[in-house]
Amino acid sequence: MLDAGWLLQKVLSLSGLVFALAGVAIFGAHFVRLNGLAARGDSGAVPPEAWRGAGARLGYSIFAVGVTLAVAAMILAASLPGRY
């Protein structure tokens, strides 16, 4: 049973990393795309949709899920006894 707990901790930790990186990638792609479109315009200012648009919010949400999973993995690791 202890091995299953440590396996769950590792799965939570790695999936948290994957989700956090995916959230950053989605936010970054959305941000860069909108800034590229704005650079073609006259003002060249960063549009507010780049930070607060639907794509940015999706990236933030996925990143938050990843951080939550990583924190859950740390709490689980702190509560489990040592393996050896």
Please write down the HEC assignment for all residues of 13-38: HHHHHHHHHHHHHHHHHHHHHHHHHH
Is residue 19 over pLDDT 70?
yes
CB atoms within 10 A of CB 1: 4
Tens-digit pLDDT profile for residues 47-60: 888 889 999 999 99
Tens-digit pLDDT profile for residues 21-51: 999 999 999 999 988 888 887 777 888 888 8
Is residue 84 over pLDDT 70?
no
Q: Whole-model pTM?
A: 0.86
- For all residues of the chain together, what is the average pLDDT? 91
Q: Exposed/middle/buried for 73, CB within 10 Å: 0-12, 13-18, 19+?
A: buried
